[in-house]
A and B are shown apart, each in its own frame.
Chain A
């Protein structure tokens, strides 16, 4: 398909919730090693709450991709503890502001990923190489930009997700200089950053949600 619609955005959140739940113990173990050990549980709780609100018939029907992302943003800000809630919340909130349309083409997807990255950087004040979510989102945004001319919009998402996964893997040897992992200094090396890992999972879910629609 050449565009991604509101149903895709809602499917994205459902798939992300399912995949994060499946990876909950893995994320928690990563965070236990270099953080406070609650990332898997917190993110699972937050995305479950997002799905709960999307499935709630009392909620107003979403007519734009941005409305789905805004609901996800406010729900995650409220329900995900730690730094992840504000970071993912701000990412989705900024993304919602550039996606207030019923359908997104390749350019719209690039804008979505760029806005999410901008939100994470604004909130976390991190740059690439500091063992944070930025190490997944920055290469994702750059890969999406390079793929902007792709014929199928899902190819833009695939490029972003693949880059996020590689970016997350690149955090393993890094020494953290931001967040609570930075207190571990050298001892933070050797563990993949849980926020970068969950970012890669969530972007992969965006691809799966698009493929599920035949795109």
Chain B
């Protein structure tokens, strides 16, 4: 099962730039663009959407379609209306255009099925929602002693360690801290490197509480050089998984 993306945008440069970003993090995923009106100006074109869907579906088992503005969504729905067989293999998602495309592409790169790729795109709106700092404030405002163990989070660029039980995962949980070596930390490309590696391990891994298979969650940690992060894994191969991630971080993701 391979899932591709079709990006429908009013601007050719918007679609091309978003596709570039998605392909950088998911080099094997088919990312098609349908951008601009019939004359190539700002707008959308049914013919361009139909062509992009046909090309992408010829190379994949299904495509997730993202649109930049309401009228672009209407154009995609028109294509579906004219070809009732399309909705079975093409899924129009309600997602932020850029973040949704990146999340969908990385999920598709991991070999996920159509529904999962669509869900990843739609979940992206939550990844860019309230910041982790705001969530911490809420946890601290509540009774932190009984609350979930917040291992670490960031406020004003500093690491904040919350006192409390080091973990609640029991004996099969393995945890290790590591220092971020590169200036930009877990930005887009390193986050994608880590997410791909962890997805391939099949072991649940978190970095400072963020799901290590989620590029967006890793990016939203906002790490920079010198930050100490905690890598945590559970299950049979937890120790190996932590070692792999720590190794990637210490190696500077190849760009330190």
Q: Are B77 and A86 in contact (CB under 8 A)?
A: yes
Partner of A81, one of B37, B77, B81, B82: B37
Q: Does A66 contact B (CB under 8 A)?
A: no
Q: Are A77 and B82 in contact (CB under 8 A)?
A: yes
Contact residues of B between 73 and 131, Cβ < 8 Å to A: 74-75, 77-78, 81-82
Q: Are A87 and B74 in contact (CB under 8 A)?
A: yes
- Which of B12-20, B41-49, B150-158, B229-237 faces chain A? B41-49
Q: Are B46 and A78 in contact (CB under 8 A)?
A: yes
Q: Does A190 contact B (CB under 8 A)?
A: no
Q: Does A123 contact B (CB under 8 A)?
A: yes
Q: Are A86 and B71 in contact (CB under 8 A)?
A: yes
Q: Does B256 contact A (CB under 8 A)?
A: no
Assembly CA distance A81 to B82 (angstroms):
17
Q: Are B78 and A90 in contact (CB under 8 A)?
A: yes
Q: Are B81 and A83 in contact (CB under 8 A)?
A: no
Q: Which residue of chain A lies nearest to B44 when distances are taken between CB atoms in the complex?
A: A81
Q: Are B71 and A78 in contact (CB under 8 A)?
A: no
Q: Given A81-B37, A86-B74, A124-B74: A93 and B82 within 8 A (CB)?
A: yes
Contact residues of B between 211 and 239, Cβ < 8 Å to A: none
Q: Does B70 contact A (CB under 8 A)?
A: yes
Assembly CA distance A79 to B99 (angstroms):
30
**What are the interface flags for A65-100 relative to B under an 8 Å C-beta threshold, 1 for contact and 0 otherwise?**
000000000100111011101110110010000000
Q: Which residue of chain B lies nearest to A78 when distances are taken between CB atoms in the complex?
A: B46
**What are the interface flags for B58-82 relative to A under an 8 Å C-beta threshold, 1 for contact and 0 otherwise?**
0000000000011100110110011
Partner of B71, one of A79, A83, A93: A83
Assembly CA distance A82 to B45 (angstroms):
9
Assembly CA distance A81 to B11 (angstroms):
13
Assembly CA distance A62 to B81 (angstroms):
22
Q: In whole Å, how far is B80's beta carbon from the nearest beta carbon of chain A?
A: 10
Q: Are A83 and B78 in contact (CB under 8 A)?
A: no
For A123, what are the chain B residues with a Cβ–Cβ distance below 8 Å?
A: 74, 77-78, 81
Q: Are A179 and B82 in contact (CB under 8 A)?
A: no
Q: Which residue of chain A lies nearest to B74 when distances are taken between CB atoms in the complex?
A: A86
For B78, what are the chain A residues with a Cβ–Cβ distance below 8 Å?
A: 77, 85-86, 89-90, 123
Q: Are B45 and A78 in contact (CB under 8 A)?
A: yes
For B75, what are the chain A residues with a Cβ–Cβ distance below 8 Å?
A: 77, 85-86
Q: Are B38 and A74 in contact (CB under 8 A)?
A: no
Q: Given A74-B82, A86-B77, A93-B81: A81 and B70 within 8 A (CB)?
A: no
For A87, what are the chain B residues with a Cβ–Cβ distance below 8 Å?
A: 74
Q: Are A83 and B46 in contact (CB under 8 A)?
A: no
Q: Are B46 and A85 in contact (CB under 8 A)?
A: yes
**What are the interface flags for A145-183 relative to B under an 8 Å C-beta threshold, 1 for contact and 0 otherwise?**
000000000000000000000000000000000011000
Q: Which residue of chain B lies nearest to A75 when distances are taken between CB atoms in the complex?
A: B46
Assembly CA distance A83 to B81 (angstroms):
15
Q: Which residue of chain B lies nearest to A179 when distances are taken between CB atoms in the complex?
A: B70
Q: In whole Å, how far is A29's beta carbon from the nearest beta carbon of chain B?
A: 19
Contact residues of B between 125 and 145, Cβ < 8 Å to A: none
Q: Are A77 and B70 in contact (CB under 8 A)?
A: no
Binding site for A on B (CB under 8 A): 37-38, 43-47, 69-71, 74-75, 77-78, 81-82
A-B contact pairs, 16 of them (CB 8 A): A77-B75, A77-B82, A78-B45, A78-B47, A83-B74, A85-B46, A85-B74, A85-B75, A85-B78, A86-B75, A89-B46, A90-B77, A90-B81, A123-B81, A179-B71, A180-B70
Known: A81-B38, A85-B78, A180-B70. 20 other contacts (CB 8 A): A38-B43, A74-B82, A77-B46, A77-B75, A78-B38, A78-B47, A81-B43, A83-B74, A85-B74, A86-B46, A86-B71, A86-B77, A87-B74, A89-B78, A90-B78, A93-B82, A123-B78, A124-B74, A180-B69, A180-B71
Binding site for B on A (CB under 8 A): 38, 74, 77-79, 81-83, 85-87, 89-90, 93, 123-124, 179-180
5 closest Cβ pairs, A-B complex: A86-B74, A81-B43, A83-B71, A86-B78, A81-B37
